[in-house]
Amino acid sequence: MTAIVLDGRAVAARLRARVRDQAMAAGIVPSLAVVMVGEDAASRLYVRNKTRAAAEAGFREQTIILSADISEAGLLAVVRRLNDDPGVDGILVQLPLPSQIRPQAVIEAIDPGKDVDGFHPVNAGRLAIGRPALIPCTPKGVMTMLREAGVAVAGARAVVLGRSSIVGRPMAALLTLADATVTLAHSRTRDLAAECRRAEILIAAVGRAELVRGDWVAPGAAVIDVGINRTADGRLVGDVAFAEALPHAGWISPVPGGVGPMTIASLLENTLAAALARRGVVVGCPA
Ligand code: GUN
């Protein structure tokens, strides 16, 4: 068997076009504000990709670049100004932040209704109990990928590798809401390979280059690779040894060109959802 390779770029392009059409049909122009602290090159590239996608979807977007030595109070004041600005629907503060700023303090300062990253505890809590919420973009994009590929989630054994609050935990919550039987595995899990071999859906989000070997993948499994790692010889690879896994899996997402583009498309979905909710249109349940 050779797996179907999931084309995240193509699925994301369709999703972005759908979001643009939905905004137009609703007669609204959603507005996204992205805040960046410092001049980190990787963050700059991520931010540019996000704001470019927003502009191409017909959204209003602004990028606020703050000095790397800004105080936590200074950043919180910017966040509060955006919270109070009726012309802003979505706020995203790019992470990581310099060491003088506590990321959790910033995340908790964002109006939960404008929290298009879905990182605020109010949104995390709503997701945990299956209430309407803004959902973290990467796991939301993974669910869209699975749905678009026709992978059966209800009743499936799903294994999520990694328990970060940005990917692993919300991923496990979303799969649970979609009626999968979910194992959340992590660095202290005994016999990770054996856990993975039981998975009909395997989501790798640990940030360790090619940790998941071909013989960890059950025949026909859907393998979604959230990792983006740079190897010592300069290659960009995921958390899954792609070439090894290909003959085992039923579906597999590549790196790059898999989950990455889906994350940005999900951000646009969240910004539209926030814009609609702020105008009185209720956002649907996550599952
Ligand atoms: N840095 C890397 N990924 C992300 C993300 O999804 N959101 C934010 N705010 N910062 C990031």
Of 61, 80, 113, the residue that ends a domain is 113
Distance 256 CA to ligand 1 centre (A): 17
Query: Which residues constitute the domain of residue 232?
Result: 136-260
Which atom of ligand 1 is found nearest the CA of 166?
Answer: 6
**276 in a domain, yes or no?**
no
117 CA → ligand 1 middle, Å: 7
Q: Which of 4, 54, 22 is nearest to 258 (CA)?
A: 4
Is 104 among the catalytic positions? no
Residue carrying structure tokens 């910004």: 271
Residues 153 and 217 in one domain: yes
- Measured in Å, residue 93 CA sits from the centre of ligand 1 at 8
Res 287 pLDDT > 70: no
Q: Annotated catalytic, 62?
A: no
Q: Does the structure show a pLDDT above 70 at 284?
A: no
| pLDDT tens digits along 128-164 | 999 999 999 999 999 999 999 999 999 999 999 999 9
C-alpha of residue 205 to centroid of ligand 1, in Å: 14
Q: Please check the confidence at residue 236 and state whether its pLDDT lies above 80.
A: yes
Residues in a beta bridge with 92: 34
Atom number of ligand 1 nearest to Cα 93? 9
pLDDT digits (tens, 9 = 90+) for 151-206: 999 999 999 999 999 999 999 999 999 999 999 999 999 999 999 999 999 999 99
Q: Are residues 143 and 181 in the same domain?
A: yes
CB 246 within 8 A of CB 2: yes
Counting atoms of ligand 1 from 1, which one is nearest the CA of 263?
Answer: 6
Q: Is ligand 1 within 6 A of the CB of residue 95?
A: yes
pLDDT band at 281 (very low <50, low <70, confident <90, very high): confident
What is the CB neighbour count within 10 angstroms for residue 137? 27
Q: Into how many domains does the chain fold?
A: 2
Q: Of the candidates 286, 287, 162, which has an alpha carbon nearest to the alpha carbon of residue 226?
A: 162
End-to-end CA distance of the chain: 31
Q: Is the CB of 93 under 6 A from ligand 1?
A: yes
Token pair listed for 43: 């963050």
The answer as to whether 40 is a domain residue is yes
pLDDT of residue 1: 72
266 lines ligand 1 (CB under 6 A): no
Domain identity same for 29 and 102: yes
d(CA 119, CA 104): 9
pLDDT above 80 (res 100): yes
Clarify whether 50 is annotated catalytic.
yes
Which CATH number characterizes residue 224's domain?
Answer: 3.40.50.720
Q: Tell which one of 36, 46, 171 to mutate to probe ligand 1, the residue whose CB is within 8 A of the most ligand atoms.
A: 46
Same domain, 90 and 173: no
- Whether 47 is in a domain gets the answer yes
Could you tell me the CATH number of the domain that includes residue 103? Answer: 3.40.50.10860
Residue 285 covered by a domain: no
Asked if residue 185 and residue 256 are part of one domain, the reply reads yes
Question: Is residue 143 domain-shared with residue 183, that is, in the same domain?
Answer: yes
Ligand 1 pocket, 92 CB below 6 A?
yes
